[in-house]
Amino acid sequence: MKNTVRVAAVQAEPKWLRLADGVAQVIDLIGAAAGAGARLIAFPETFLPGYPWWCWVDSNQWNVEYSTRARENSMTRDGAEIDAIADAARAHGIHVVLGFGERQERRIYMAQAVIDDFGEIVSVRRKAGLNSVERKVFASGTPNLPAVHHTPIGKYGALSGQENQRPLLTRALRADEEQLHIAAWPGSPDGDAAGPESSTTVSRMYALEAGAFVLAPCAVVGESAWDGRGAFAGPRTGRAHIYAADGEEVVAPLEEGVDGILCADLELGASGLEAEHLDRQSRNRKSAAPARRGTRRAVPGWQSGPDRWALPLSLGAYPGGIAAC
Q: What is the pLDDT of residue 216?
A: 97
Res 244 pLDDT > 60:
yes
pLDDT tens digits, 190-225: 655 555 578 899 999 999 999 999 999 999 998 888
How confident is the model at residue 129, as a pLDDT?
86
The residues, any chain, with a CB within 8 Å of residue 199's CB and separated by 6 or more, are 183, 185, 188, 216, 218
Report yes or no: 183 and 203 within 8 Å, Cβ to Cβ.
yes
Between 288 and 228, the more confident residue is 228
Summary mean pLDDT of the chain: 83
Query: For position 318, what pLDDT does the model report?
Result: 28
Q: Using an 8 Å Cβ cutoff, are 173 and 148 in contact?
A: yes
Q: What pLDDT sits at residue 86? A: 98
Residue 275 has pLDDT above 60, yes or no: no
Say if residue 255's pLDDT is above 60. yes
Q: At what angle do helices 80-92 and 19-35 cross, to 10 degrees?
A: 10
Q: What is the pLDDT averaged over residues 302-322? A: 33
- Percent of the chain exceeding pLDDT 70 equals 76
Confidence category of residue 245, pLDDT binned at 50, 70, 90? very high
Query: What pLDDT score does 317 carry?
Result: 32
pLDDT at 211: 94
Cα 263 to Cα 32, 57, 244, distances in angstroms? 11, 34, 13
Whether the CA torsion 133, 137, 138, 139 is positive or negative: it is positive
Q: pLDDT band at residue 269, thresholds of 50, 70 and 90?
A: low
Give residue 131's pLDDT: 87
Q: List, for residues 18-28, the tens digit of each pLDDT value.
A: 999 999 999 99
Residue 235 has a pLDDT of 80
Greater confidence (246 vs 271) lies with: 246
Query: Of 28-42, 90-104, 207-221, 256-270, where does mean pLDDT reach its minimum?
Result: 256-270
